[in-house]
Structure formats: structure tokens, C-alpha cells
């Protein structure tokens, strides 16, 4: 998704903006630009392609100015070209806007503005927004330029249908930047004699840890000395100052070549962080303080709907097995983009849980709002503290995974599964689970981080397997029961960072059509831990081998028979079958990583993808 950073203060803005854009690169983009206000007009520099192209242009031009806004664009309307890159100016050329989101009625607004004599130089919806605000600014009778600019934003935005996170500057009001949000995140960074505006706190965490997360319909004015937040329709808005809970180092790669590899290796600690302080060994249960639900309300829950997208949805599918097996509560997973349009029957005791690493995924947010519209109690399993989803749910559980910068989700998946294990334990102990069973699960969960470390120690072995198959054009991922979602997750990882076509299936589905694909050039990855369906998986592997399909198996150590049927085997330590997805996913994360590296792919910023999908 698009990234935004604005700066107003006592330092030259361009280096700060470029550094902030670099920290937002992981979100995915295809062009970048900045606009600086130096008291004598606006200087706008835009370049298609990587931020390096913009950096070179800025070095050549060396624009001056202590006030600026900048943007990385993930194209929604119009190709990734210099002309379509943000910032966009209004008819007068004195106002500039950067925007994250989609203006759904931009064509109608564009036609109306053309009728008012406006001309456009791009194909974007954002340029229409710039002209609309400029139209209101030029038509205002307000004499104070700052109030005139704020008023123009507040008058223009109600005419917009869609989503926006914007930053606006005007050369007549060089002492302020105006921002506003609806559906796309925006945060204010608080400094000494300087302030920031950003779409993601990681862009400004090096400068300040004191931030204000804006809410929908907020309009903020930042200056060197302060900030003011109003509602888009006027009147003061609620403001909460938050403290960023991660360090600059955590938002950096450190000694790792890619954020994705760093985050794969962080999983022993991220899982420890997800469960820390949430286990009661005395009662053999979980302690989840953020649910905001009484024991009675928890006991009344008779059905759970888990809604999410992508990897978070796969984690939810594992959670379905966990909650049903531990608590015997009917649980179903609804892909968020489907749930929001389906009319799923619910009752007053149905609990909705949305899962989202970023807490900003627009489809998941829409599913949450649809559930709330139906009067359901809604919880969130979220990583990004104070994100929109975290703020709009009735309660929830932060996974405390730290910033996940790589576009491919890794540690967020295992932490989401760990948290849903806690949820299943909590519900189970309210209903039928004994304290001894609960305590046994707690002991096994606490042992998982060290077992992940044992798998990570096999990285070289997994790298060799990856390089052996890096040339293939397709890959099948097969698993049963709670490892079927892991097959889906392994396939998603492989396709999104190595661009190999990959698909995940329940192993038994092979004979219902999938096996027609099997051939020597098409490897199948079987997730076959030593569980109740292990022998069934072995049979499926033999079906593939009989048709000369190569097989990579993820299996449990101590059961070497699988080496008689699989071409390559990656062993995981023993663990209860209910927790095996926490281990079986690790080899698949590393496999996709090393295949992508071998294929020369951009692992942290895969083509066409964004870290947080805040547009529909
Ligand atoms: C997974 O690797 C992808 N990055 C993507 O599927 C992601 O999981 C999905 O967009 C949901 O994101 P969220 O968890 O931030 O809501």
C-alpha cells in the first residue's frame, strides 16, 4: 500500500522524507515523490520505480525547505509513471497532496471539476482530490491562509466516497501541514520544535516514540510548535498520545540479508512474547485480560466466526481446529472479503474474531464492521497496537510479535496460532477441559520456541533442498487436518515471494483431480508429522511417487521410514498433533525463502504486493 511521510520543523526536510520513505519500502510501491515548501513556492520531485531514482533526483536538484510531504505509490488508478506519482498539485499549482486510499467517485468529481475549467495531467484519483481541495481553497472567503486550508480540506472531503489518508501543503500556508484520514491509517509524530505525519509509525520511529494515531474523520494540522485535531465536520476531536512499543533496531534488518529471514528467526522469541504472562499453571488455563468479556459472557459463546485474509486466514483455519478440539465450540473461518458480503446467519451468542497483523486490512475491517452492525461481540487478534482494527473491536489479544516488515507474513502466523491456542485453552477450561490437560498443553506450548530453534538449525539442509527445486515452474503442498491450512500457507509463501505457481490441498484430495498434475517436473511438499493420519499421508506420497512426482516431506524425527518414500525429508521435533502447525510451517517458510533467493527475487518487496492491503 502507499506510504506517506510529512515533516515540519527546523531541519531540511528532504533527507528526513527520503529516510522515512525507505522505511516504508516494505509496504510495496512502484513510484515515489516529494513536495517541499520553502516560503517561495512548492518544489515537487517525482520518479517512477524505486526510491533510489527519487534519491538521485533530489541529490541533483538539492531542494531546500523545512516543510515537506512525500509518498510511495502502489498504483490503483493509472500506471506507475512520473506523471502519476504523488504528490499531485491543484489547478493553481500552489497546493500539493499525497494520498493513500481509493476515491471511488473520482470520475464524477473529475467531470464536475472539468466543467469548472480544471485540467488534469494524470490518470489518478488523487489529482482529482488535489483539485477539489484547491477549488474549495480558492473559493473560500477566509482570510487566514491556515484556516482557509483547513476549511478547504473539511469542505472537500465530505464529497469524497472511498478511503483516504492524506497530507496537504499550500505555498500560502508554509507553516503547516494538514492531514486527514478515513479508512487509511495516519499517525502524528510529536517532536521538539518539529512534527511528523506518517501512514506507518515505522517511518518515524527513529525520530520520536510519542505519537497520536488518528481516527476516521479526523483532520489534523501540524506545525513546528504543535498540532490540532478536528473532526472533518468541525469541532475538536478526541486525541490520545501513545508510546511506540518497539525500537528502531527492531524495525531494521540487523545482520540478516532480508527482513523475512530475520522475522523467521525471531519466531522462538515472538512466540515467547505471545504467551508471556498469559499462562496460569495453577489453574491450567490462559489469562487473557484484553477480551473485555466476563466469565459468564465467555461461557455463553455458542459459536465462533474467525474472519481474516491471506496468512491470517490460514492461521484462523488452524485456530478452528484448536478451538473446536479444546473447547468443543463450533468454529468456522470466513474469508473476510467474502464474509462482508455474505449474510452469514448468527445469533446473539455468536462471537466474531478478526485476525490481522497490520490491523488495517480493509476487507478484514469491513468484516468487523459488518459483524458489529449485526450486534455481534467482536474481538481482534492483532499485532499493530492502536491500529484501526484494534481500536474498533470490543476487545482482543495483541500478539506482541514486534514490527513485521517483510511483505511475506511469517512470525505473525505462528504468533496468531499461539494466541489462538491460548484462546482454545481458555474456552476449554470454561467447559470440559481438565486442569491436568490444560497444564499439559501449557507445558507443550512453552516447549515450542526451543523446538523451532532446532528446526532453524537445519537451515543449510533446507537451503540445499530449496536450491535443488528452485528451477521448477510449479509446486503442490499437501497436508491433512490442522496441517491442511499449513499446506495453504506454504503454497502462499512460495507463490508470493518466488513467483512459482503453488497450490495447497488436503492430501486426500489428490485423487479427486490434483494428481493429474503430478509429473517429474512438479514436486509435492507433504506435511506429514507423526499423527493419527500419518499412514494416510504415506499412502498419498506413494501415489505421487508411483507417477514419478518428486516428494519433499516435513516429518517428525524418530520415524525414518518416510525416507523410503520421500526424495527429501525435513524433520521436526516431536510435539502434540494440536501444536504441530507451529513447527511444520517453519520448514516451509525457509523453503520458500531460499527458493526465492535462488531465483533472484526481491524477497522483502515482492512484485505487485503490499504489506498491508488498505484498498479493496
Ligand atoms: C501473507 O504473506 C501476505 N502478506 C498477505 O496474505 C497478508 O497475510 C494479508 O494481506 C493479511 O494481512 P493482515 O494480517 O495485515 O490483515
Residues 223 and 221: their CA atoms lie apart, in Å, by 7
CB 362 within 8 A of CB 389: no
Same domain as 257, residue 242: no
pLDDT at 50: 84
Same domain as 93, residue 232: yes
Q: What are phi and psi of 504, to 5 degrees?
A: -110, 140
The tens digit of pLDDT for each residue in 499-510 reads 999 999 999 999
Query: What DSSP line would sit under 84-145, residue for residue?
Result: TSSPEE-TTSSEEEEEES-BTTHHHHHHHHHHTT---SSS-HHHHHHHHHHHHHHH----SH
The tens digit of pLDDT for each residue in 460-472 reads 999 999 999 999 9
Same domain as 325, residue 194: no
Identify the weakest region by mean pLDDT among 309-313, 330-334, 359-363, 607-611: 607-611
Rounded to the nearest whole angstrom, what is the distance from the C-alpha of residue 357 to the centroid of ligand 1? Answer: 7
Rounded to the nearest whole angstrom, what is the distance from the C-alpha of residue 612 to the centroid of ligand 1? Answer: 7
Check residues 268 and 610 and name the one with the higher pLDDT: 268
Same domain as 304, residue 234: no
Identify the weakest region by mean pLDDT among 326-340, 373-387, 578-592: 373-387
Residue 611 lies in a domain: no
> From edge to edge, which strands make up the β-sheet containing 524-528?
501-506, 474-479, 524-528, 551-556, 568-572
Same domain as 280, residue 241: no
The tens digit of pLDDT for each residue in 164-204 reads 999 999 999 999 999 999 988 899 999 999 999 999 888 89
Domain containing residue 574:
458-606
Strands 474-479 and 524-528 come out as parallel
Residue 445 lies in a domain: yes
Residues 270 and 402: their CA atoms lie apart, in Å, by 7
SS3 76: coil
Residue 569 lies in a domain: yes
Rounded to the nearest whole angstrom, what is the distance from the C-alpha of residue 412 to the centroid of ligand 1? Answer: 9
SS3 182: strand
Q: Which pLDDT band, with edges at 50, 70 and 90, does 24 fall under?
A: confident
Residue 95 lies in a domain: yes
Residues 528 and 542: their CA atoms lie apart, in Å, by 13
Among 210, 232, 250, the domain-final residue is 250
Residue 613 lies in a domain: no
Task: Give the cell for residue 76.
Answer: 490503483
CATH number at residue 15: 3.60.20.10
Check residues 27 and 262 and name the one with the higher pLDDT: 262
Mean pLDDT of 25-48: 86
Residues 501 and 451: their CA atoms lie apart, in Å, by 30
Mean pLDDT of 549-576: 96
Task: Give the cell for residue 244.
Answer: 511506540
Same domain as 68, residue 33: yes
Q: At what angle are helices 581-598 and 459-469 packed, to 10 degrees?
A: 50
Among 215, 250, 285, the domain-final residue is 250
pLDDT at 568: 98
Atom of ligand 1 nearest to the CA of 308: 16
Atom of ligand 1 nearest to the CA of 364: 16
pLDDT at 512 over 80: yes
pLDDT at 184: 86
Check residues 186 and 77 and name the one with the higher pLDDT: 186
Residue 531 lies in a domain: yes
Atom of ligand 1 nearest to the CA of 407: 4
Name residues contacting ligand 1 (CB within 6 A): 309-312, 356-358, 361, 364, 407-409, 492, 496, 612-613
CATH number at residue 494: 3.40.50.10490
Atom of ligand 1 nearest to the CA of 310: 6
Q: Which pLDDT band, with edges at 50, 70 and 90, does 253 fall under?
A: confident
Task: Give the cell for residue 447.
Answer: 516447549
CB 237 within 8 A of CB 218: yes
Catalytic residue status for 611: yes
The tens digit of pLDDT for each residue in 432-476 reads 999 999 999 999 999 999 999 999 999 999 999 999 999 999 999
Rounded to the nearest whole angstrom, what is the distance from the C-alpha of residue 213 to the centroid of ligand 1? Answer: 21
Same domain as 82, residue 213: yes
Atom of ligand 1 nearest to the CA of 311: 8
**Mean pLDDT taken over the chain:** 93
Same domain as 222, residue 161: yes
Same domain as 261, residue 244: no
The domain total for the chain is 3
Among 204, 223, 250, the domain-final residue is 250
CB 73 within 8 A of CB 29: yes
Alpha helix (H) ranges present in 140-199?
145-156
Query: How many CB atoms neighbour CB 452 within 10 A?
Result: 24
Residue 612 lies in a domain: no
Instruction: Say which of 89, 262, 411, 611 is annotated catalytic.
Output: 611
pLDDT at 73: 79
Rounded to the nearest whole angstrom, what is the distance from the C-alpha of residue 176 to the centroid of ligand 1? Answer: 35
The rounded percent of the chain whose pLDDT value lies above 70 is 97
Cis geometry, peptide bond prior to residue 165 (ω within 30 degrees of 0): no
Rg from Cα positions in the chain: 26
Identify the weakest region by mean pLDDT among 23-37, 337-351, 355-369: 23-37
Residue with CA at minimum distance from ligand 1 atom 9 = 310
Residue with CA at minimum distance from ligand 1 atom 16 = 356
Identify the weakest region by mean pLDDT among 29-33, 432-436, 479-483, 593-597: 29-33
Residue 448 lies in a domain: yes
Mean pLDDT of 305-326: 98
Q: What pTM, to 2 d.p., does this model score?
A: 0.77
Check residues 238 and 563 and name the one with the higher pLDDT: 563
**309, 411, 610: which to mutate for ligand 1, most atoms within 8 A of CB?**
309
Q: Which pLDDT band, with edges at 50, 70 and 90, does 26 fall under?
A: low
Residues 395 and 162: their CA atoms lie apart, in Å, by 27
Give the H or E element holding residue 310: helix 310-327
Mean pLDDT of 148-171: 96
Q: Which pLDDT band, with edges at 50, 70 and 90, does 144 fall under?
A: very high
CB 518 within 8 A of CB 472: no
Mean pLDDT of 426-431: 96
pLDDT at 532 over 80: yes
Largest CA distance in the chain: 83
Rounded to the nearest whole angstrom, what is the distance from the C-alpha of residue 599 to the centroid of ligand 1? Answer: 23
Residue with CA at minimum distance from ligand 1 atom 10 = 310
pLDDT at 250 over 90: no
Same domain as 44, residue 188: yes
Rounded to the nearest whole angstrom, what is the distance from the C-alpha of residue 560 to the centroid of ligand 1? Answer: 35
pLDDT at 27: 60
Catalytic residue status for 2: yes
Rounded to the nearest whole angstrom, what is the distance from the C-alpha of residue 356 to the centroid of ligand 1? Answer: 7
Same domain as 352, residue 378: yes
Q: Which pLDDT band, with edges at 50, 70 and 90, does 82 fall under?
A: confident
pLDDT at 524: 98
Q: Write out the E strands in 183-292.
A: 187-190, 195-198, 210-213, 218-222, 227-231, 241-243, 279-280, 285-286
pLDDT at 38 over 90: no
Atom of ligand 1 nearest to the CA of 410: 2
Same domain as 160, residue 86: yes
How many residues does this entry show for the chain? 616
Amino acid at each position: 500500500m502507499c506510504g506517506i511521510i510529512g515533516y515540519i520543523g527546523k531541519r531540511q526536510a528532504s533527507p528526513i522524507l527520503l529516510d522515512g520513505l525507505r522505511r516504508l519500502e516494505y509496504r510495496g510501491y512502484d513510484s515515489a515523490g516529494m513536495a517541499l515548501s520553502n516560503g517561495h513556492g512548492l518544489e515537487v520531485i517525482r520518479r517512477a520505480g524505486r526510491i533510489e531514482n527519487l534519491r538521485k533526483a533530489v541529490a541533483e536538484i538539492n531542494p531546500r525547505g523545512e516543510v515537506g510531504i512525500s509518498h510511495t505509490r502502489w498504483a490503483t488508478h493509472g500506471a506507475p509513471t512520473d506523471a502519476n506519482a504523488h504528490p499531485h498539485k491543484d489547478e493553481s499549482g500552489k497546493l500539493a497532496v499525497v494520498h493513500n486510499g481509493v476515491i471511488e467517485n473520482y470520475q464524477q468529481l473529475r467531470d464536475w471539476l472539468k466543467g469548472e475549467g480544471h485540467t488534469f495531467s494524470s490518470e489518478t484519483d488523487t489529482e482529482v482530490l488535489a483539485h477539489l481541495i484547491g477549488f474549495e481553497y480558492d473559493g473560500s472567503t477566509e482570510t487566514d491562509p491556515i484556516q482557509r486550508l483547513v476549511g478547504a480540506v473539511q469542505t472537500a472531503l465530505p464529497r469524497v466516497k472511498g478511503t483516504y489518508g492524506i497530507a496537504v501543503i499550500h505555498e500560502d500556508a508554509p507553516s503547516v501541514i494538514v492531514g486527514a484520514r478515513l479508512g487509511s491509517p495516519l499517525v502524528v509524530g510529536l517532536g521538539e520544535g518539529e512534527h511528523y505525519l506518517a501512514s506507518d509509525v515505522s517511518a518515524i520511529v527513529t525520530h520520536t516514540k510519542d505519537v497520536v494515531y488518528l481516527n476516521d474523520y479526523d483532520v489534523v494540522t501540524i506545525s513546528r510548535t504543535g498540532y490540532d485535531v478536528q473532526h472533518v465536520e468541525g469541532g475538536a476531536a478526541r486525541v490520545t498520545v501513545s508510546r511506540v512499543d518497539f525500537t528502531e533496531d527492531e524495525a531494521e534488518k540487523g545482520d540478516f540479508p532480508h527482513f523475512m529471514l530475520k522475522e523467521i528467526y525471531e519466531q522462538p522469541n515472538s512466540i515467547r512474547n505471545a504467551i508471556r504472562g498469559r499462562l496460569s499453571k495453577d489453574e491450567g488455563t490462559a489469562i487473557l485480560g484484553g477480551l473485555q468479556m466476563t466469565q459468564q459472557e465467555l461461557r455463553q459463546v455458542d459459536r465462533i466466526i474467525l474472519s481474516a485474509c491471506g496468512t491470517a486466514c490460514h492461521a484462523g483455519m488452524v485456530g478452528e481446529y484448536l478451538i473446536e478440539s479444546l473447547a468443543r465450540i463450533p468454529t468456522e473461518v470466513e474469508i473476510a472479503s467474502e464474509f462482508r458480503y455474505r449474510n452469514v446467519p448468527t445469533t446473539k451468542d455468536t462471537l466474531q474474531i478478526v485476525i490481522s497483523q497490520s490491523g488495517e486490512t480493509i476487507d478484514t475491517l469491513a468484516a468487523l464492521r459488518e459483524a458489529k452492525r449485526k450486534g455481534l461481540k467482536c474481538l481482534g487478534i492483532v499485532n499493530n497496537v492502536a491500529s484501526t482494527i484494534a481500536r474498533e473491536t470490543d476487545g482482543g489479544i495483541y500478539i506482541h510479535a514486534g514490527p513485521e516488515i517483510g511483505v511475506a507474513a511469517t512470525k505473525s502466523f505462528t504468533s496468531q496460532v499461539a494466541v489462538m491456542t491460548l484462546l482454545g485453552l481458555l474456552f476449554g477450561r470454561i467447559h470440559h477441559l481438565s486442569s491436568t490437560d490444560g497444564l499439559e498443553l501449557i507445558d507443550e506450548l512453552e516447549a515450542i520456541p526451543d523446538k523451532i530453534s532446532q528446526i532453524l538449525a537445519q537451515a543449510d539442509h533446507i537451503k540445499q533442498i530449496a536450491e535443488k527445486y528452485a528451477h521448477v515452474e510449479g509446486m503442490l503442498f499437501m497436508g491433512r487436518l490442522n496441517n491442511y491450512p499449513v499446506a495453504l500457507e506454504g503454497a502462499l509463501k512460495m507463490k508470493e515471494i518466488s513467483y512459482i505457481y503453488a497450490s495447497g490441498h488436503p492430501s486426500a484430495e489428490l485423487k479427486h483431480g490434483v494428481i493429474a498434475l503430478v509429473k517429474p517436473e512438479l514436486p509435492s511438499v507433504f506435511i506429514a508429522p507423526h499423527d493419527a493420519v500419518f499412514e494416510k499421508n504415506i499412502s498419498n506420497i506413494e501415489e505421487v511417487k508411483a507417477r514419478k512426482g518428486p516428494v519433499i516431506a516435513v516429518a517428525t524425527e524418530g520415524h525414518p521410514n518416510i525416507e523410503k518414500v520421500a526424495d527429501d525429508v525435513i524433520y521436526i521435533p516431536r510435539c502434540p498433533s494440536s501444536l504441530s502447525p507451529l513447527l511444520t510451517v517453519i520448514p516451509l517458510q525457509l523453503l520458500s525463502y531460499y527458493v526465492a533467493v535462488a531465483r533472484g527475487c526481491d524477497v522483502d518487496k515482492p512484485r505487485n504486493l503490499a504489506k498491508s492491503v488498505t484498498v479493496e
